[in-house]
Amino acid sequence: MSQHELPVTMRAAVMTKPGHIIIEDQPVPRPTAHEVLIKVMAVGVCGSDVHYFEHGRIGRFVVEKPIILGHECAGVIVAVGADVTRVKVGERVAIEPGVTCGRCSACKEGRYNLCPEVQFLATPPVDGAFVQYMVMREDMVFPIPDHLTFEEAAMNEPFSVGIHAARRSKLAPGTTLAIMGMGPVGLMAVAAAKSFGVQTIIVTDLEEVRLEAARRMGATHTINVRHEDALAVIREITEGIGVDTAWETAGNPKALQSALYSLRRGGKLAIVGLPAQDEIAINVPFIADNEVDIYGIFRYANTYPAGVAFLSSGQHDVMSLITDRYALEETQQAMERALHNKSGSLKVMVYPNGM
């Protein structure tokens, strides 16, 4: 498709205020010298999208004007800028949603997820991917093999969080890991842990459907905290020692405390989920006495190539996690479905150019 054959307008799902999304026509953007134009084929609904939809803010990021949500995305390149060399028209790609400056100390250290100037899709005031077409800088798109679906490629975004957590917490083959919370990020964290060769993956959640999904993704032990004492079960599994590493992925204060207490002496804790409140009680003497290493996890960096390789290997049944599918015109319903999280729902996916 040449520049001259591109459509002039496209459909976009715009959140005019929290809880209210309309479909409107917008101009199709044109790529600048180092950008590509992507026909968006699949977009996952993330917890942050739901939070903006419900509350209009996440911490210091506040929705002050109409915004397009969605950042877990994949598509096909339909046009390229004059100086693009890495990719070409027709390539199917996973899209890393945060464009960084490349000049600050964080970027130069390779920790570009900490770039203070990052332009991250669907984080105010930057528009996201619930559109038929979008532009992205060429270094933020990653070709995918023909056998990898657009849905799987879109799931590389939450999968990347797990890869980043694994690297930050120095996850090693043959070790034991507890993951608290089996939402979409938690489920993809299980897949990441499996990719890193973890021997024992213990997961907790309130919903049996999520625990079943975790078993499909590679969890070796599941604990329904409605009916079981998670710490007692973990102690039994680990013969009273505790796990080497624990990740909290639910954003729940009780789950964070459980993750901490599940650790062996000298264990490692990664905080992936964000609680609704800024400050929560945590046992500092326990942390000091046991020399617990604590890692904050903020998005990811340098994970997309590894994620595409892992997802392309065929060892992860990611497609089974996608339980709800909506057209772009149904984005309001998709967001409401994800918000109310009805029983049986795992991952909600939107298809801007048809299913």
Span 300-314, pLDDT tens digits: 999 999 999 999 998
- What does the pLDDT average to over 262-281? 92
Residues 181, 151: Cα–Cα separation, whole Å:
22
Position 333 scores a pLDDT of 97
Q: Does residue 148 sit within a domain?
A: no
Given a cut of 70, is residue 2 above it in pLDDT? no
Q: Which domain holds residue 180?
A: 161-296
Residues 52, 21 within the same domain: yes
What is residue 202's predicted lDDT score, i.e. its pLDDT?
Answer: 98
Alpha carbon distance 204, 58 (integer Å): 25
Q: How many domains does the chain have?
A: 2
76/131 same-domain check: yes
| pLDDT for residue 281 is more than 60 | yes
Burial of 343 by CB count in 10 Å (0-12 exposed, 13-18 middle, 19+ buried)? exposed
152 part of a folded domain: no
Mean pLDDT computed over 158-163 = 98
Looking at the structure, do residues 175 and 266 belong to the same domain, yes or no? yes
Q: Domain for residue 307, yes or no?
A: no
When pLDDT is averaged across residues 70-81 and rounded to a whole number, the result is: 98
Whether pLDDT at 78 is above 90:
yes
Q: Is the pLDDT of residue 82 over 90?
A: yes
Q: What is the mean pLDDT of residues 261-290?
A: 94
90 and 29 in a single domain? The answer is yes
Q: How confident is the model at residue 277 (pLDDT cuts 50, 70, 90)?
A: confident
What is the Cα–Cα distance from 261 to 284, expressed in whole angstroms? 12
Q: Residue 352: which pLDDT band, with cuts at 50, 70 and 90? A: very high
Domain presence at residue 150: no
Where residue 30 sits, what CATH number does that domain have?
Answer: 3.90.180.10
**Cα→Cα distances 195→43, 128, 162, 167, 324, Å:** 24, 29, 10, 12, 26
* Kind and range of the H or E run holding 214: helix 208-217
Same-domain pairing of 135 and 167: no
Q: Does residue 309 lie in a domain region?
A: no
pLDDT at 338 over 60: yes
Residue 347 lies in a domain: yes
Cβ proximity of 131 and 10 under 8 Å: yes
Same structural domain, 32 and 95: yes
Output the pLDDT for position 159: 97
Instruction: Check whether 1 has a pLDDT greater than 60.
Output: no
Give the pLDDT band of residue 4 (cuts 50, 70, 90): low
Q: Name the percent of the chain lying above pLDDT 70.
A: 98
- Strand-pair category, 200-205 with 176-180: parallel
**18-68: pLDDT as tens digits:** 999 999 999 999 999 999 999 999 999 998 999 999 999 988 899 999 999
Is the peptide bond prior to 125 cis by the omega test (within 30 degrees of 0)?
Answer: yes
**Is the domain of 284 the same as that of 321?**
no
Residues 196 and 226 grouped into a single domain? yes
Residue with tokens 């004007």: 65
Q: Is 124 found in the same domain as 82?
A: yes
Q: Is residue 90 part of a domain?
A: yes
Tell me, yes or no, whether 3 lies in a domain. Answer: no
Mark whether 115 and 171 lie in a shared domain: no
Convert the pLDDT of each residue in 223-250 to its tens digit: 999 999 999 999 999 999 999 999 999 9
**CATH number of 191's domain:** 3.40.50.720
Q: Write down the mean pLDDT value for the chain.
A: 95
Same domain, yes or no: 90 and 207? no
pLDDT digits (tens, 9 = 90+) for 199-217: 999 999 999 999 999 999 9
Q: Are 82 and 111 contained in the same domain?
A: yes
At 274 the pLDDT is 84
pLDDT at 3 over 70: no
